[in-house]
Amino acid sequence: MKSMKFLAFTDIHQDKKALAALLARTQQADIDFALCVGDFSTFGRGAAAVLEAFQKLGKKLYVIPGNHEEGQGWEELMAKFPTCVNLHLQAVEIGKYVFLGYGGGGFAQEDERFRKIARGWYGLHQGKKIVLVTHGPPLGTRLDLLDNRHVGNRDYRAFIERIKPKLAISGHLHETVGVTDTLGETQLANPGWEGMVIELK
């Protein structure tokens, strides 16, 4: 199978200019699908409009909620847009990769719910090619540095160190937009609102 190329983005907060640019790039022939890492609305406002815009493109958009979409009728919202795939709490095979999605969360540095889900994922998917998609970043990297403090999640970090995904994509922190890093063998990225084209072989 050929390599896959997708456009990842996060934290557009219903910005129309950013959305228009992302739609235009997604529409181009070399992009297989788009991936949204949350906070595409402003506390739920504008969420349906963003999803509807991607729905019209006809390409799949894989989505997790950010903290702005939590508690906003997430399942019901996603059900309205068939080409927008709910990746939250899901393991979805795309090509040779398994995408593991976990959305929501703010600045909590521990997440018991994630730990429980992650144990199941580890049992089912260890040894596979993994892409971990979380709204918040893992602890102790360039992606979670805020005012010289690390504010990421230690449970995300522990899971990355254990399962060793090829790639971990996160957002949430506007201050680290466009930043990349590594954690062991894992590439890390915050694609930001301008988006980041990622190719996996």
**Domains, the chain, with CATH or none:** 4-200 (3.60.21.10)
Query: Is residue 189 scored above 60 in pLDDT?
Result: yes
Mean pLDDT over 2-12 rounds to 95
139 Cβ contact partners less than 8 Å away, ≥ 6 residues apart: 109, 150, 151, 152, 153, 154, 156, 157
> Which of 165, 164, 163, 141 is CA-nearest to residue 153?
141
Query: What would the mean pLDDT of 105-118 be, rounded to a whole number?
Result: 93
CA pair distance 187, 79, nearest whole angstrom: 32
The identity of residue 107, as a single letter, is: F
User: Greatest CA span in the chain, whole angstroms?
Assistant: 43
d(CA 133, CA 100): 6
User: Residue 187: its pLDDT value, please?
Assistant: 98
Q: What is the pLDDT of residue 71?
A: 82
In this prediction, residues 42-70 reach a mean pLDDT of 96
Whether the predicted pLDDT of 125 surpasses 90: yes
- For 13-60, where are the E strands, in sequence order? 33-36
Beta bridge partners of 138: 153
Residue 151 has pLDDT above 80, yes or no: yes
Confidence bin at 1 (pLDDT 50/70/90): low
Write the CB contacts of 135 (distance below 8 Å, at least 6 apart in sequence): 10, 37, 38, 39, 64, 65, 66, 67, 102, 103, 104, 105, 170, 171, 172
Average model confidence (pLDDT) across the chain: 96
> What is the average per-residue pLDDT within 49-55?
98
Calculate mean pLDDT across residues 12-27: 98
Looking at the chain, how many residues does it have?
Answer: 201
pLDDT at residue number 134: 98
Q: Which residues pair with 168 in a beta bridge?
A: 132, 188
Confidence (pLDDT) at 112: 96
Give the three-state DSSP class for 29.
coil
